Amino acid sequence: MRAIGTLAVLALLFLNGCGTSKEVLHIYTWSDYIKPETIAAFEKQYHCEVTVDTFDCNETMYTKLRAGGNGYDLIFPSTFFLQMLVDANMIQPFNLDLLPNVRKNFDARFRGKIYDPSLTLAIPYTIFYTGLAYNKKQFPDCVPSWSLYLDPRFSGRATLIGDMRMTLGAALKALGYSLNSTSEEELQDACALVLKWKKQISRFENEAYKTGLASDEFKLCMAYSGDIAQVQEESPDITFIYPKEGFPCSCDEMCIPTDAQHVELAHRFVDFLYQPEQAAENIAYIGFCMPVRAAYPLLPEAKRNNPIFFPSDADLQRAEPIRHLGSALGLYIRMWDVIKAKD
């Protein structure tokens, strides 16, 4: 009788909702890219759970989704990769009526840097830049230019990013071309310039340049702005400059996959990130600026005055977003193969 009574109570609790599980939001993003306390605050406010899986490059993310690795409600691809997702019908549009904070707080200065200015297919998460980093005390008179790679002071103590879009893009800008050029002649010129730079550098490096700058192993590094913001926490003499010829910029954006199961919860999370207080805390944690204008005054003064987070209007005008290349991608791959093969 006691067993029957216990089962009856449990059944009643379940029918009243006390036994139901929480809704789970499944996110697929870059490593260490959302402040854990931000996720915890969202879970508490919306009585849900958030799971986060990570990828190390857009290609990994795309391959997993194409292979049937679905079940994600929110993904964070880079702007230049979005066209592939659109062409493959892998994302669905946002309902802006469910995103009041996005509509109110999005920094319109970045409308021309993102995939969809209408904020329908993707909502920008971060914007970052690729420039040059070095120790300003050791080299106080550096001209902000890609030509520093030919400066003998840095010979053998410099690095380039091992990414064809970034490094070929930098060479294209140094030559006065668009970093999204599809001209074979211009790409050949850029390839030749990168080969000149390659003779002067220590190696191509995507990650360890951060510790190398701090330890003085490297004197000049092609770098992502957010990485140098992190380096400056421990090594304030490391500075970041925007080359005068122009430089790449990119966004990581938030999208809802076509087969997402928790679409409304995904909207709530995106809009939660665009709350000024949450955005300010998240920016301070990840080291990359979110285009949430109302969050800027809430940042610590050191970050508000840091050009890594907020380039001047003149610098911002020289930032060219990386775009999808379509069939011209093969041309870049061919040039990159030449660069990698040369000693």
**pLDDT tens figures, 306-331:** 999 999 989 999 999 999 998 899 99
> Which CATH superfamily hosts domain 128-249+315-341?
Periplasmic binding protein-like II (3.40.190.10)
Q: Give CA–CA dist 37/52, Å, rounded.
A: 13
Q: What is the pLDDT, as a whole number, of residue 16?
A: 41
Alpha helix segments (H runs only) across the chain? 2-15, 36-46, 58-66, 82-87, 100-105, 164-174, 184-198, 209-215, 225-234, 263-273, 276-286, 301-304, 313-318, 329-341
CATH fold for the domain made of 2-127+250-306: D-Maltodextrin-Binding Protein; domain 2 (3.40.190)
128-249+315-341 shares the fold of 2-127+250-306: yes
What DSSP designation does 150 have?
A: G
**Is the predicted pLDDT of residue 21 greater than 90, yes or no?**
no
**Is the predicted pLDDT of residue 232 greater than 60, yes or no?**
yes
Q: Which amino acid is at 228?
A: I
Q: What is the pLDDT, as a whole number, of residue 206?
A: 87
pLDDT above 90 covers what percent of the chain?
Answer: 79
Torsion of CA 318, 208, 195, 324, to 10 degrees: -50
Q: Give CA–CA dist 254/78, Å, rounded.
A: 9
**Is the predicted pLDDT of residue 125 greater than 70, yes or no?**
yes
Q: At what angle do helices 164-174 and 329-341 cross, to 10 degrees?
A: 90
Q: Give CA–CA dist 294/296, Å, rounded.
A: 6
Closest Cα partner for 280 from 264, 263, 303?
303
**pLDDT tens figures, 136-158:** 999 999 999 999 999 999 999 99
Any idea where the domains of the chain sit in the sequence?
2-127+250-306, 128-249+315-341
Mean pLDDT of the 212-225 span: 96
What is the band of 2 on the pLDDT scale with cuts at 50, 70, 90?
very low
Q: What are phi and psi of 235, to 5 degrees?
A: -130, 80
Mean pLDDT score across all residues of the chain: 91
H-run or E-run covering 131: strand 123-135
The CA-based angle 149-153-157, given to 5 degrees, is 70
Q: Give CA–CA dist 299/303, Å, rounded.
A: 6
Terminal alpha carbon distance of the chain: 83
What is the band of 20 on the pLDDT scale with cuts at 50, 70, 90?
low
What is the band of 3 on the pLDDT scale with cuts at 50, 70, 90?
very low
Q: What is the pLDDT, as a whole number, of residue 197?
A: 98
Tokens of 119: 């904020």
Mean pLDDT of the 25-46 span: 96
Is 12 exposed, middle or buried, given 0-12, 13-18 or 19+ CB atoms closer than 10 A? exposed
pTM: 0.82
**pLDDT tens figures, 41-95:** 999 999 999 999 999 888 889 999 988 867 899 999 999 899 999 999 999 999 9
Mean pLDDT of the 164-188 span: 96
Tokens of 131: 């420039």
